[in-house]
A and B are shown apart, each in its own frame.
Chain A
Amino acid sequence: MEIFHQLGHNFNWNVESLHDDNAGDGLILAPRYMKRERVEGMSLVLRERSFFDPQFFLPNTQRGQLASYNFFPDVVADGFETSEYSDSLAQEGALRCVRFQIENWFRYIIIPTRHVSGMPSNYQSMQENMFVLPFLEACQRLSASQPIVLQMVVTEHMLKDEAYFNNLLNWVTGLRGISGVYLIVDHGGRSKQVKDLDLLIALLKFVDYLKQNDLIVILGYLNTEAFLLSIAHPNVIPIGSYEGTRIFNIKYFQEQEQLIIRGPTPRIYVPMLLQLINHNYINVVRRATTAQGDLFEENQYKAIMFKPTYQWHFSKAELYKDYFTVFSNQLRQLASYKDRERYQVVSQKIQDAIGLFTTIEGRGVVLDADSDGSHLPIWLTAANEFAISKSWR
């Protein structure tokens, strides 16, 4: 299991974290935020460790730096219209995009996808005609040697509807020529942590079935639920800085350059709690858990942030670099465990975190809804349900 940085706003923090702190294993490059010259100007070593997400989610919306790529559908078609994105335009776009990915020696070649809502009945044919078939053809024509990975953005409804879930899996596992799936879940982001039990169980099973079909599974846009999802043994798990890279939200590709509409509350990741907590609570949480030792892992970023004079602000790099370091360490520890053992470690960590939250609450500390452990019983149940389906429990 490898850890890739999902790049977005202030992507330099991720690049520095990977390079300077050895946090993570690679980068998921984002044309929405990176000009073509910037991507091509990266060192070959870095490009080989990374892959490029074409971000065709909204093919008619050239937000950010997407216009600098001559294969973005709206650029190829000089104004994208679904009905007019004919065979020749789709093929030309695919050819340019695949050539770009080959020439930059990225780790994988990604077949992009467009974003859809709900459960459209023409999902498969639309994706096939617009992207899958033209890209596979382009890969063959250009003799691509890298593994070809299909991007899928699935909605919570697609995963939770049994028939749709089955159809999607039957389709993607039947595509000849792909080696893997780059899977993104659009769950609406109603809460910072995913608390939808049915969705989590369905997602674990979806990943597991892809793995059973010998497909590489790269997960994209995940918050700390990446820890739970590790029990399905994906090949790549993402870490990201701002919420826009941790929770997939199509709005970030729709709206004008206003990534941060309101300044988010600075939060700090506490690995033993499996939660990002409001920085205001650091001291009370520390006092409440003295008997358990320091919940905050020491590193150079903590040394800066825990100074009394530190001015907490969401735009400060150390907040995110600390998260990259701590969370990637935690995920790396899991990588050495397999199957039932990994499930046991994950479920034990969740139970330990639930116990710590009980201790904290017992001391009268009332955490806000985005800092408390209300997601943990749901995660534990999802893990247990998945373990039963795998006969691990």
Chain B
Amino acid sequence: MTFNDVLMEYPDATLLKQGGQKAAYRIEHPVYGHSVLKIGTYKSPRELERIRREVATLRDIDSSYYPKNYDFQVISQDRFVIIEEYIDSRPLSKCLQEYSEPRRALAFTKELANGLNVLWQRNIVHRDVKPDNVLVVSSGEPKIIDLGIARLLDMESLTTLRGAPLTMAYAAPEQIHHHQGVIIDHRTDQFNIGIILVQLLLKGEHPFDPRVVGTGYSVPENIVSNNWHHSFLSGPSLSRIRPLATKLLGTQQFQRYRTPETLLNDINQCIERLG
């Protein structure tokens, strides 16, 4: 699939990322200035609807934690064009080690939770929070991207659990162990936050990685059996974070935080206790 016809409008376009049937370019837009041009193809009406939903969500929330959407168009040959705010940033996955200091890790986690709370307050769950989907801007604050499988809780989901392209290494137990009656809500995102928090403290090591845990099980198996590396959270300062991490990583949703407010309150208390 070629995107040359679209790119002709932006002679200064610089390729940022290309994969599969999609590509992202940095452009200088005559109206929006520095922007990101995303061009891609969709294979089904379902996929197109997913893209439309992401765009609609971004437009609706208008928050500094998310890139702004400027334009969305469906063009010929089953293709779509999105123009978004350009964010000068690095993905968190490339700079996890920089946040291993406990106060820094907590402050970042708090910002991440605040950002996700913007979605939760609208009854939306991100469902794919992972370091690749969190960008870090120069001030150190997070920007959350890829709301492609975000789910509005009171609507029939377009992305069924079985078909959802979630990332297994960051999936909550209820996303891995799906069965009838399973509930996906903001507490599902909390589990993802829990993994990121511990991963920051572990200088980038995944807390459910069998090499870190010391078992031969896979990451998803360790997630389902709540087998994570927590013994390092026993020192005088890190032990203060352990209850927070343990609650975020609760196997059952009722073991996590019922409300975003209690989660944010606990993070704040942890930060205060660390001084």
Contact = CB atoms under 8 A, between A and B. Distances in A.
A278 interface: no
A121 B180 contact: yes
Nearest to A133: B154
B252 A170 contact: yes
Contacts of B146: none
Contacts of B252: 166, 169-170
A124 interface: yes
A213 B258 contact: yes
Given A167-B181, A174-B185, A174-B187, A214 B254 contact: no
Contacts of B187: 174
A214 B255 CA distance: 12
A124 B181 CA distance: 8
Given A170-B252, A173-B253, A214 B258 contact: yes
Nearest to B253: A170
B185 A121 contact: no
Interface string A148-175: 0000000000000000001101110110
Contacts of B183: 167, 170-171, 174
Interface string A223-256: 0000000000000000000000000000000000
Nearest to B174: A170
A173 B262 CA distance: 13
Nearest to A163: B179
Given A121-B181, A124-B181, A174-B185, A166 B254 contact: yes
Nearest to B186: A174
Nearest to A121: B180
A213 B254 contact: yes
B27 to A, nearest CB: 41
A306 interface: no
Contacts of B182: 167
Contacts of A314: none
Nearest to A174: B185
Interface in B207-265: 252-255, 258-259, 262
A392 interface: no
A121 B179 CA distance: 11
Contacts of B180: 121
Nearest to B184: A174
Q: Which of B181, B182, B185, B262 is packed against the most chain A CB atoms within 10 Å?
A: B181
Contacts of A173: 253-254, 258
A124 B180 CA distance: 11
Contacts of A170: 174, 183, 252-254
Contacts of B262: 214
Nearest to A213: B258
B242 to A, nearest CB: 14
B126 to A, nearest CB: 16
Contacts of A171: 181, 183
A169 B180 CA distance: 15
Interface string A111-154: 00000000001001000000000000000000000000000000
Interface string A256-276: 000000000000000000000
A204 to B, nearest CB: 15
Contacts of A166: 252, 254
A209 B250 CA distance: 12
Interface in A357-374: none
A167 B181 CA distance: 7
Contacts of B259: 214
Nearest to B120: A176
A214 B266 CA distance: 14
A174 B174 CA distance: 14
26 contacts: A121-B180, A121-B181, A124-B181, A166-B252, A167-B181, A167-B182, A167-B183, A169-B252, A169-B254, A170-B174, A170-B183, A170-B253, A170-B254, A171-B181, A173-B253, A173-B258, A174-B185, A174-B187, A174-B253, A174-B254, A174-B258, A209-B255, A213-B254, A213-B258, A214-B258, A214-B262
Q: Which 4 A-B pairs have the closest CB atoms?
A: A169-B254, A173-B254, A213-B258, A170-B253
Given A166-B252, A173-B253, A174-B183, 13 more contacts: A166-B254, A167-B182, A167-B183, A170-B174, A170-B183, A170-B253, A173-B254, A174-B185, A174-B253, A174-B254, A213-B254, A214-B259, A215-B258
